[in-house]
Amino acid sequence: MKIAVVGATGLVGGVMLEVLEERGFGKEEVLVAASAKSVGRKIRFAGRELTVQSVEDVIAAKPQFAIFSAGASTSKRYAPLFAAVGTTVIDNSSAWRMDEGVPLVVPEINMSAVRARTGHSVSSGQGMIIANPNCSTIQMVLALSGLQRRYGIRRIVVSTYQSVTGTGMKAIRQLEAEERGEEPEEMAYPCPVHRNLFPHGGDFMEDLYTTEEHKLVDETRKIFDDATIQVSATVARVPVVGGHSESVNVELKEEFDLEEVRRIISETEGCVLYDNPEKLEYPTPLLSHHRDEVFVGRVRRDPSQPKTLNMWVVADNLRKGAATNAIEIMERLVLSALNA
């Protein structure tokens, strides 16, 4: 099997290669592509060196899968060209997420969307595009997915506390320079992030919300296939390297038993209930670092609102929020083909 990683020299691309090796794809033919300035560069993978190729050359190799983490404009340009030669593209950018014909997938929740929306079978040799949701959306909907199935969700109010790794290497370099007391060579943010936080992720829009906040609204509805869910989001950036945190207030459609809620979360595939207030145990970004699970804690009833819960949700945004989610989609497609 040929697997392409497009954007392999970037922060998420590097994690994608790590996860591929960890999950048993080290012996497959892995092709790495990046921008023209990186062509010819060597990347270590599974005990060998891979040479970075141009995207055009990788398309010509006709891989079965292409996992993208190269930005929306690159995905818009090249993903259809991969699909045209029979490749299944799993794209980590925002380019295709809200396209009506493209499934937006968290594999534990809605792999059925791949078949339902396209009629596609990976064994058919037909190319397609699958979108990976935003990192903050992935961890939130996974934590809520069991409750959505059991009770239904009426409304979500979410505030995110997002790591600088969600912005990329430029943001990490800014934070590290500020930590050393130096002036950053290049600012990723409009203000300092060291010993600071700010309520800004993405670009501001006419309604005064940001593009990152709109993603939480629109993607949640699409993944749950329920346009009636009301979502209000506030995104904040915090001086953390690795791991997004979220305060989630969710109003359910039915009354609930708190112990049943805790059981449902603990039994949700991909989630870990880490909630022991008496021992001062609750999820933190450090707990999630380099791990693939979504951690949920501080689960409690909202006394101000009927049928409503509060919880705290944490995940490694580079892994489950990006690389791992994409590779899990690929794994399930391969398994489906083998079982066909």
Tell me: the pLDDT tens digits for 303-317?
999 999 999 999 999
User: In the chain, which residues have pLDDT < 50?
Assistant: 118-124
Can you tell me the distance from the alpha carbon of 171 to that of 293, in angstroms, rounded to the nearest whole number? Answer: 24
pLDDT of 8? 97
Query: Do 92 and 157 sit in the same domain of this protein?
Result: no
Domains: count for the chain = 2
Same domain (yes/no): 109, 189: no
The CATH number of the domain holding residue 242 is 3.30.360.10
Residues 144 and 112 in one domain: no
Residues 124 and 222 in one domain: no
Q: Are residues 39 and 155 in the same domain?
A: no
| Whether residue 123 is found in the same domain as residue 235 | no
pLDDT for the residue numbered 339: 80
CATH number at residue 61: 3.40.50.720
* CA atoms 137, 141, 144, 150: torsion sign: positive
Query: Do 124 and 143 belong to one domain?
Result: no
Q: Which domain holds residue 97?
A: 2-133+321-339
My answer on whether 267 and 327 are in the same domain is no
Residues 121 and 147 in one domain: no
SS3 call for 254: coil
Helices 324-339, 11-22: crossing angle, 10 deg rounding: 40
Q: Which residues are catalytic?
A: 135, 244
Same domain, 228 and 305: yes
- Asked whether the beta carbons of 322 and 132 are under 8 A apart, the reply is yes
pLDDT at 125: 52
Whether residues 309 and 214 share a domain: the answer is: yes
Nearest in space to 138 (alpha carbons), one of 13, 318, 340: 318
What is the model's pLDDT at position 122? 41
- Looking at the fold, whether 178 and 299 belong to one and the same domain comes out as yes
Q: Minimal CA–CA distance to 295: which of 308, 306, 311?
A: 311
